[in-house]
Amino acid sequence: MHEFRRILVGVDLSFQGKSLSGVLSPPTEEAVERGMLLATQNGAELCFAAVLDAGDTTERLIHDARTDDPNVFDEAHALLGQFVQKARQRQINAEARVLVGKSWLKLIQEVLKFNHDLVVVGTRHEGFVDRVLFGSTAIKLLRKCPCPVWVAKPSGGKPLSSVLVAHDLGAVGRYALDMGLGLALSEDLQLSVIHGLEQLPVGDVTGLGFSSPDVKVLHQEAHDRILVDLEGVELSHPPQIRIINGRPESAILEMVEENSIDLLIMGTLGRTGLRGVLTGNTAERILARLQCSLLAVKPDEFHCPIELE
């Protein structure tokens, strides 16, 4: 099972007027709590990182120079220090960093610099993912970050109860399933797996005497391949496997809603000429309408387009 060793949590410290807000949005609260829980389960090191907007920070520094107010960086470190203290009370090795610039870029550079193997972030604002994900820090991380990215949706303090893995029957799908199994075992979750099968035409479409495999046979073969990946793992709840014809985006959304899925795990793939972009627009449409947390993983051949400064 996959284990995390160095977890980076992005903390959104928004400005309210001339001061940083000490009140976190529900998605950021969820990200902080999820990061600490995962660090505890994995025995991982934890880093809380706040990325301040360059324009807002410059304005605040000018304000600080004219007043006796605390330096903006000291204020940010003090706010993050509260989370570091809470983490250390849970026996987690934790630290904090305050950065300035574009959130998604600075977080990815932190991953490259310190070899973090998971980034946890919340959506920028409260509300459904379709109103906040596109153009946000989260979507940039999903496209370009070299390590897995967990986009946290507020749960109201409710623990995870179910996880859905979108399996492509390839290496990245097995990687996603490995993570799903680890979570299912550690948190006693209901595991579901879905695979979309492109339906082949029936009959001799070549005119050479060869007929396409029966769709039922293809369904069974896909089902059996997933069972092989699950072999040897004893779960408290029997895993649910669904094989569907065609692309799985609609079926994923239906399963999330029908089964009250708390977390979707899926792979992302780089495409020729578009390094780090999700597999077509279909995956992005899923993310835009997804009503649960998301853990996105990259294939081994993924090339991060970001470089260290």
Domains and CATH numbers, the chain: 6-152 (3.40.50.620), 162-297 (3.40.50.620)
Residue 213: pLDDT above 90? no
Secondary structure element (H or E) that encloses residue 218, with its range: helix 215-230
Q: How many CA atoms lie within 13 A of 192 on its CB side?
A: 21
Helix, coil or strand: residue 112: helix
Chain-wide mean pLDDT for the chain?
Answer: 82
**Cα-to-chain-centroid distance, residue 154:** 14
Q: How far apart are CA 97 and CA 196, in angstroms?
A: 41
Residue 199: pLDDT above 60? no
Q: Please give the average per-residue pLDDT across 239-247, as a whole number.
A: 88
173-180 long-range Cβ contacts below 8 angstroms, 24+ apart: 173/267, 174/229, 175/2, 175/267, 175/297, 175/299, 176/265, 176/266, 176/267, 176/295, 176/297, 177/226, 177/229, 177/230, 177/265, 178/1, 178/2, 179/2, 179/148, 179/265, 179/295, 179/297, 180/265
pLDDT at 58: 62
Q: Please give the average per-residue pLDDT across 60-67, as a whole number.
A: 58
List Cβ neighbours of 113 (8 Å cut-off, separation of 6 or more): 308
Residue 68: pLDDT above 80? no
Which DSSP state fits 284? H
What DSSP line would sit under 37-63, residue for residue? HHHHHHT-EEEEEEEE-HHHHHHHHHH
- Give the pTM: 0.86
Q: How far apart are CA 119 and CA 9, in angstroms?
A: 6
Residue 17 backbone phi and psi in degrees, to 5: 70, -120
Order of all β-strands in the sheet with 94-100: 94-100, 45-52, 6-10, 118-122, 149-152, 293-297, 263-267, 162-166, 190-197, 240-245
pLDDT at 57: 63
Residue 135: pLDDT above 70? no
